[in-house]
Amino acid sequence: MTDQNYSLCIGMCIYDNKYGVSYLFSNLKKIYESDIFSTLRFVFIYEERDPNLSNMKRMISDFSETVNTSVVEMIKNRYDWEPVRQRNIGHARNSFLEHLKELRTSNCVFSHFAFMDFNEYACIGPINTMVLQDVMSLSSDWDCVSFLREAAYYDMWALSFDPYIHSFFHFKRAWYEVVDRMRKMFDKIVFRAVSRGDKFLPVYSAFNGFAIYRCSTYLSDKEPCIKYSDEIKTEFYPKRVFENQLYFADSQIDGRKNDDCEHRYFHLASLQPPHNARIYIYLKSLFKKMPKNVILPYVPRADV
């Protein structure tokens, strides 16, 4: 347990998730049993059109009985369905943020909230709650923190760092060529930071399956609005960084104004005044690799 009195509300988008769920619930229970947080709430964001909804409701009900001193609830995505995947996920995440603000009006206040990907790969490896405890003990140093992952850093689309701030899908050059250059640079930056003994790596945006946010920063009602969106706002970019990315990518952007990862807008908006969020990757793995003796009955979309 940490010395501070931390409270956490974890939001999870559960649309059409049916593989790896038992491992996800196991990790949530480990967070509950760690006693890092004085108050812990689990919020599952669902959609009525989910073909797996009835099964998920049953599993969530079973899970709630194992964490009986925490609140477990399901809330509906408040927005209409759209054909753009990341836009729908953004709607679900925004529904959670609105729910947190409503809880605040009834004096249900958390120091932090988190998002955890509820898919078949990102967070199914055994969680290392000591890493979670360590990063919470340093919470005065950050407003948003995400983590490395033993199996691999998979979430390159949500990632923005100096100089790769713009989506690699939004260049005139082939996206796989841009992301290859980006990944090689990122791996070198992480290696050097870890070799120096750094605890944190400053970034403009990062998620990688699990991230924690300070409520007083990220639930602000001040402009620019901190929300999830697939909109691209190049005015949020530091000019020098953007110019450097064009050089390193050896390409111009394709001019699209949307269809971006929903995390980038959210994080970049929080960097703007008056929010001035401090966004970092904690240079330790929150989730371990899956044990070698575990045989999954499906093929995950990323290394586990």
Span 55-76, pLDDT tens digits: 999 999 999 999 999 999 999 9
Q: Is 296 helix (H, G, I), strand (E, B) or coil?
A: coil
The model carries a pTM of: 0.97
The rounded percent of the chain whose pLDDT value lies above 90 is 95
Give the model confidence (pLDDT) of 214-249 as tens digits: 999 999 999 999 999 999 999 999 989 999 999 999
d(Cα 87, Cα 97) in Å, to the nearest integer?
15
160-205 pLDDT, tens per residue? Answer: 999 999 999 999 999 999 999 999 999 999 999 999 999 999 999 9
Residue 2 pLDDT greater than 60, yes or no: no
Indicate if the pLDDT at residue 51 is higher than 80: yes
Give 7-287's CATH code, choosing from 3.90.550, 1.20.140, 3.40.50, 3.30.70: 3.90.550
Residues whose CB falls within 8 Å of the CB of residue 177, separated by 6 or more in sequence, listed in order: none
Residue 3: per-residue pLDDT: 55
- Residues written for the chain: 304
pLDDT the model gives residue 156:
98
User: What is the three-class DSSP state of 272?
Assistant: coil
Q: How much of the chain is in helix, strand and coil states, percent to nearest 5?
A: 35, 20, 45
Cα dihedral sign, 60-111-132-267: positive
Identify which of 119, 100, 102, 112 has the alpha carbon closest to the alpha carbon of residue 139. 112
Q: Radius of gyration of the chain from Cα atoms?
A: 19
pLDDT at res. 4: 72
Euclidean distance between CA atoms 95 and 294, whole angstroms: 35
Domain ranges of the chain: 7-287
State pLDDT tens for residues 108-123: 999 999 999 999 999 9
pLDDT level of residue 83 (50, 70, 90 thresholds): confident
Are the beta carbons of 184 and 88 closer than 8 angstroms?
A: no
Q: For residue range 126-169, list pLDDT tens digits in order.
A: 999 999 999 999 999 999 999 999 999 999 999 999 999 999 99
Q: How confident is the model at residue 18 (pLDDT cuts 50, 70, 90)?
A: confident
Please provide residue 177's backbone torsions phi and psi, each rounded to the nearest 5 degrees.
Answer: -75, -40
Which residue in 109, 147, 113, 152 sits closest to 131, CA to CA? 147
